[in-house]
Structure 1
Amino acid sequence: MSITIPYQNIKYFNLTEKKDFKLEDGTLFGPITVAYETFGTLNAEKDNAVFIIHALTGDSHVTSAEDNDTVTPGWWDKLVGKGKAIDTDKYFVISSNAFGGCMGTTGPSSINPETGKQYGQSFPLITIKDMVKVQKKLVDHLGIHTLKTVIGGSLGGMSVIEWMSSFPDASDSFIVIAASYKTSSQIIAFYEVGRNAILADPNYNGGDYYESKHPDNGLTIARMLAHITYLSSHSIEEKFGRNFQNETKAGEYPYANFGPMFAIESYLRYQGKKFVERFDANSYLYLTKTMDIYDATNNAAIPLTDVLKNVKGKSLFISFNSDWHFTPADSWVMVKAMMELGKEVTYVNLDSPYGHDAFLLENNELESIVSSFIKNVRRI
C-alpha cells in the first residue's frame, strides 16, 4: 500500500542533491529531502522558534490548528495550537518528519537515484545523531540561529538529548519527555520480536516489496506488540479487563478458535491494521533499530556528565509514574547528571495511569508545566 501525505501545510527542504552528507559511521549519503511544517509567525528577532520532534511513528503534522479541514488531526493537538501550551499565536513552531521516516523525508521508501527504485534495505543504518544533524540543517536553512526550545517525547525526547550533546548552543532551552539516553534491553527485546514479524512475512521480500504486496501482516503484529509497551497494566485492565467482544459471549470461539474473543485482542488488531495504512515497514525496521542502538554515553565509555556538560540553557525533564517503556528512573539519571554539573534543570514526574502514551493524551498538568516553562525561557 502506497502512503499518501495529506497535509496541506507541508514544505520540502532539499538538504543536499549530492551524495555528500556524512553519516556518523563515516558513510556519505544523499540526496536528502526533509518534509516539514511550520505554524505561527517567526518574529523579527527570530527568537520565538520552537522545534518539536515526533516519536517513533509520528510525522511533521504536530497540529491541525491552521488546517482548513478536520480530516488530518495533529498528533499533539492537545499541546500545540492557538491558545494551547505551545501557542502558535506566540511561537513559530517547526516540526519535521524524521530522517529515515516515510512521510516526506528521505527514508527507505524513497527513490535511490542510482537505481531508480526505492532504497529498501540498501538504505544505510542511520543513528539519532544523524537524524538530529539533519534537523539542525533544516533550522539553519530557516535562518534561525538559536531556538527558544527543542521539545520531544520518546524517540523525540532521545533526539532532544542528542541536541543537548551535539548542539548545546543551538537552543535557549530543552524539554525531554518520557525518554532516556539509552534504550533498555527489555524494550530492545520487544522491538526485536516486532522486527522479526516483519522480516518473516513472505511479502517482505528482502525489503523489496514496493511494487507488489507489502508485508502488512508482519507490520501489523509489530505494531500490536509495540503498542502493549505504550500502555500500563492499569490502563489496559481499566479499559478492557477480561471483557468479551460485544458480539461474543463466553464459551463462543469465533474465527476457528483464535479470533479476537476478548476486547483487548480486538483493540490490538485494530491498532495494527490501522497502522499499516500510514507507515512503511522498512522505516519501522530502521527507526526501531535506531532507537535500540542509541546510547549517548557510547555504552558507558563517556560519562553522562560529559555528554551534557556544554548545555547552557535551562532544561525540563518530564516522566510519568506508570511508564515502563522509558521509566521515571531513566529521566532521573539524566536530571542527576545535570544537577552534578550545576545546570539549571527542572524535573517533574507526573501521576498518570496511561503509561508511555500519557505524553500524547490530554493532561492539564503537562500542558501547564510546558506552557510555564517556555514562557520563562530567557536567551542564553
Structure 2
Amino acid sequence: MLRLRPLARAPLRRYFSASQMKDEYGAMSDAGDTFEHDGPFTLESGEVLPHAQLRYNTYGSLNPAGTNVLLVNHALTGNSDLASWWGSMLGPTLAFDTDKYFVVSANILGSCYGSTSPTSVDPSTGEPYGKSFPSVSVRDTVKLQGKLLESLGVTSLKSVVGGSFGGMQTLEYLFTGQEFGPETRSAIPIACGSHHTGWQIGISELQRQAIYADPDWAEGEGWNAKKGLEVARQIGMISYRTSQAYEEKFGRGVQGGKIYGSDAEWDVKSYLEYQGRKFLDRFDPITYVKLTEQMDSHDISRGRGEMKAVLNSVKVPTLIVGIDSDVLYPVHEQESLRDGIQGSELVVVNSDAGHDGFLLEQEEVSKNVIRFLESIE
C-alpha cells in the first residue's frame, strides 16, 4: 500500500484560469481498457517485468483487414484518453476521423495512468515497486504497444502520430514491421528530434535534482517528495513556454504592491505555485523521475547504426511538425529529421506558446494532419 502523508498547503494567492494561460490538458483519469502481456516482459536493459500491462482507449471501428488504424501517442504527463488533450482533433470529419479510422491511444509503460509503473505491486514483495521499478526505454514502451495492437487485430497502421514524448514513440514506429509489431505505413512526429540531446537531458536532470533535494526522497520511500515535485513541475512549465508568452500573460504584474525579497507577490510566481500544486493531484515523484529517465533513453540510432544511415533507411511517408518558438525541442532538430528522412515534409507551426504549441495550436496541427492523411493510402 502507498503511504502518503498529507502535504500542508498554504492557500494560493490567486487562481489562474485557462483564459490567463491555457493549460495543456483537460481533466485527467486512468479510464480505459487494459492490455495484459502474456508472461514476463523483458526490457531493453535486460531487466524483466513479471507482469506488464498498458491502459488504452479506442475510438471508431476496425475494418476487416485491420488496416484503417491511427495510433496517437501522448506526451510525458498525458494519458490514453485522447479526448482530454487533443479533443478538438477527435471525432467524425476531424483529423482523427472516427468514421474512417480506428483510433488507438495507449498509455506509456511506467506511467501512473493505468499501466505498470512504480505504483504497481511488485509480485516478489507484495508492495509497490517505488524506486525499485526497473528502467524502461522508449523502445520498451513501443514494443509493448506493438503487442497490444496485435491483440486488437491490427495488421498495419495507416499512421502513427505524437508530439514530444509521443513524437519519440512515433519515430520508433518507423522501425516496426522490420523489428516488431504491425507495419507502419506513415508517421507524423511532432516537436521532437531523433534523440534526446544534452540540453534536454540537462533540463530533465534539473527537474530530478529538485525532487532529490526533497528530504523525503533521501530519507523516506520517495512518494512524499512532493515539494520537490512541485518545483520540478515549475521548471517544466518554464521550459515548455516562451519569454513572449510569459511577458504577455504576466509581465511585471504584482499583487499587493510587494516587489522586494521573498515576500514579493509576482503574478508569475502565483501561477507557477498553482501549476506545481495542481500537478500533485495527478502525479507522484517516483513516476516523474522514472518517466523523465525514459525520455532520456530516446535515440533511434541505438543498436541500429550511424544516425544518418538510420534516418536514410526510413522509406514511409513522414510529416514532421515543429513549433517555431520551441526552446525545448528547437526547430533545427525537426530540420535534421527532414534532411535525413527521404521524401519527408516539414511544417513549422507559428506560435508564441513554445513547446506546448503542439497541444495548444490544435487547429493548425489538425489542418496539416488532415492534409497529410488524405495524401497517402
Say whether the 8 Å CA contact 1:165–1:307 is kept in structure 2: no
1:27 aligns with 2:47: yes
CA deviation vs aligned residue, 1:350-372 (integer Å, no higher than 9, x gap): 21111000010134322111011
Say whether the 8 Å CA contact 1:121–1:206 is kept in structure 2: no
1:188 aligns with 2:196: no
**Unaligned stretches of 5+ in structure 1?**
64-73
Q: SS of the counterpart of 1:221? A: helix
CA RMSD, Structure 1 to Structure 2 (Å): 2.2
Say whether the 8 Å CA contact 2:131–2:222 is kept in structure 1: no
The residue type paired with residue 270 of structure 1 is: Y
CA–CA distance in 1 between the matches of 2:237 and 2:175?
30
The residue type paired with residue 295 of structure 1 is: D
Say whether the 8 Å CA contact 1:14–1:33 is kept in structure 2: yes
Q: Which moved further from structure 2: 196-205 or 218-227?
A: 196-205
Pick one of 70, 77, 98 that aligns with 1:88.
98
Give how far 1:29 is off: 2.1
Say whether the 8 Å CA contact 2:65–2:155 is kept in structure 1: no
Q: SS of the counterpart of 2:318? A: strand
Say whether the 8 Å CA contact 1:200–1:218 is kept in structure 2: yes
Decide whether aligned partners of structure 1 residues 259 and 204 sit closer, same or farther in structure 2, where only a CA change above 3 A counts.
farther
Q: SS of the counterpart of 1:314? A: coil
> Which residue is equivalent to 2:33?
11
1:36 aligns with 2:56: yes
1:159 aligns with 2:169: yes
1:1-380 aligned within 5 A? 6=29, 10-16=32-38, 18=39, 20-63=40-83, 74-167=84-177, 170-204=183-217, 208-209=221-222, 214-245=224-255, 248-251=256-259, 257-259=261-263, 261-298=265-302, 302-339=305-342, 344-378=343-377
- Aligned pair count? 350
CA–CA distance in 2 between the matches of 1:57 and 1:354?
18
The residue type paired with residue 365 of structure 1 is: E
The residue type paired with residue 215 of structure 1 is: A
CA deviation vs aligned residue, 1:250-283 (integer Å, no higher than 9, x gap): 55x6xxx525611111111111111111012111
The residue type paired with residue 23 of structure 1 is: L
Decide whether aligned partners of structure 1 residues 259 and 375 sit closer, same or farther in structure 2, where only a CA change above 3 A counts.
farther
Decide whether aligned partners of structure 1 residues 264 and 41 sit closer, same or farther in structure 2, where only a CA change above 3 A counts.
same
CA deviation vs aligned residue, 1:8-28 (integer Å, no higher than 9, x gap): 5x1011113x4x322112222
CA–CA distance in 2 between the matches of 1:207 and 1:215?
8
Decide whether aligned partners of structure 1 residues 302 and 6 sit closer, same or farther in structure 2, where only a CA change above 3 A counts.
closer
Say whether the 8 Å CA contact 2:208–2:232 is kept in structure 1: yes
CA–CA distance in 2 between the matches of 1:46 and 1:260?
59
The residue type paired with residue 198 of structure 1 is: I
Decide whether aligned partners of structure 1 residues 123 and 250 sit closer, same or farther in structure 2, where only a CA change above 3 A counts.
closer
User: TM-score w.r.t. structure 2 length?
Assistant: 0.87
Give how far 1:303 is off: 2.1
CA deviation vs aligned residue, 1:147-174 (integer Å, no higher than 9, x gap): 1111100011011111113445611110
Say whether the 8 Å CA contact 2:45–2:135 is kept in structure 1: no
Say whether the 8 Å CA contact 1:47–1:148 is kept in structure 2: yes
The residue type paired with residue 274 of structure 2 is: Y
The residue type paired with residue 271 of structure 1 is: Q
Say whether the 8 Å CA contact 2:30–2:114 is kept in structure 1: no
Give how far 1:85 is off: 1.6
CA–CA distance in 2 between the matches of 1:207 and 1:177?
38
Decide whether aligned partners of structure 1 residues 121 and 12 sit closer, same or farther in structure 2, where only a CA change above 3 A counts.
same
The residue type paired with residue 280 of structure 2 is: V
Q: SS of the counterpart of 1:261? A: coil
CA deviation vs aligned residue, 1:292-330 (integer Å, no higher than 9, x gap): 23222239x832233234433211100011001111100
The residue type paired with residue 51 of structure 2 is: P
Say whether the 8 Å CA contact 1:121–1:207 is kept in structure 2: no
Give how far 1:40 is off: 1.4
Decide whether aligned partners of structure 1 residues 127 and 7 sit closer, same or farther in structure 2, where only a CA change above 3 A counts.
closer
The residue type paired with residue 355 of structure 1 is: G
Q: SS of the counterpart of 1:37? A: strand
CA–CA distance in 2 between the matches of 1:236 and 1:6?
29
Give how far 1:346 is off: 1.3
The residue type paired with residue 157 of structure 2 is: L
Say whether the 8 Å CA contact 1:231–1:356 is kept in structure 2: yes
Q: SS of the counterpart of 2:56? A: strand
Give how far 1:90 is off: 2.1
Identity of aligned residues (%): 36
Say whether the 8 Å CA contact 1:5–1:104 is kept in structure 2: no
CA deviation vs aligned residue, 1:45-64 (integer Å, no higher than 9, x gap): 3222111110011110111x
Say whether the 8 Å CA contact 1:157–1:177 is kept in structure 2: yes
